[in-house]
Structure 1
């Protein structure tokens, strides 16, 4: 290489999310995974729909309390299985516990306000 040529710099790797302290799962990571789960009838993610009632993270173990839009929701098993699979696919995840709750009953008021406005509620 002559003095007039400069070496091409190596590409900078894309930043990766910072790992959680001591390798534990964070609530934000859980929410990100749950946002990938959509109600197939409404095509909206279950977090924005307000179907997630509670997220408890203890180390690498996650417990989810969730509901469905109605007790007779035909997509209920599919949604619950998809949510569990998305969580189990997370790197470093421990046990995943899905708890279906009916109290309080789900209503459209639980939908994220910006999504509710978009839907015209």
Structure 2
């Protein structure tokens, strides 16, 4: 069975093209639930008006569904809690000079 750690590692392939940082290090992935071969992910964007939201969500679903043992991934876009820069990893903050 796939693990949350494996899913997060694969999701690092998905970057916000406007910021140039992956969704995991940006702190956009809020929750991952695994139920057999199905994965449920709650994630957000840096802003509700993010123009690349559909692309990011589609890419996240694609990379997760390419993990061996995952039949389907459901990505739910959530806005609570609101994203803020403090949710980024130290790696992201350093890379973005914050």
Gaps of 5+ in 1: 1-23
Number of residues of Structure 1 aligned to a counterpart in Structure 2: 98
CA distance in 2, matches of 1:37, 1:115: 14
The equivalent residue for 1:93 is 70
Does structure 2 conserve the Cα–Cα contact (< 8 Å) formed by 1:25 and 1:61?
A: no
- Identify the residue that residue 83 of structure 2 maps to in structure 1: 106
What is the TM-score of this pair, normalised by structure 2?
A: 0.93
Rounded Cα–Cα distance in structure 2 between residues aligned with 1:117 and 1:95 = 34
Residue 22 (structure 2) aligned to one of 10, 23, 45: 45
**Structure 1 residue 32, shift from structure 2 partner:** 1.3
Per-residue CA deviation, residues 7-50 of structure 1 (Å, 9 max, x unaligned), is: xxxxxxxxxxxxxxxxx111111111101101011111100000
**Structure 1 stretch 46-55 or stretch 83-92: which is displaced more?**
83-92
Counterpart Cα distance in 2 of 1:33 and 1:70: 23
Q: Who is 1:21 aligned against? A: none
- The alignment yields a C-alpha RMSD, in angstroms, of 1.1
User: Larger strand proportion, structure 1 or 2?
Assistant: 2
SS in 2 for 1:80: helix
Q: What TM-score, normalized by structure 1, do the two folds share?
A: 0.76
Give a deviation string over 1:36-83, Cα, whole Å, max 9, x none.
Answer: 101011111100000001111122211100000100000100100000
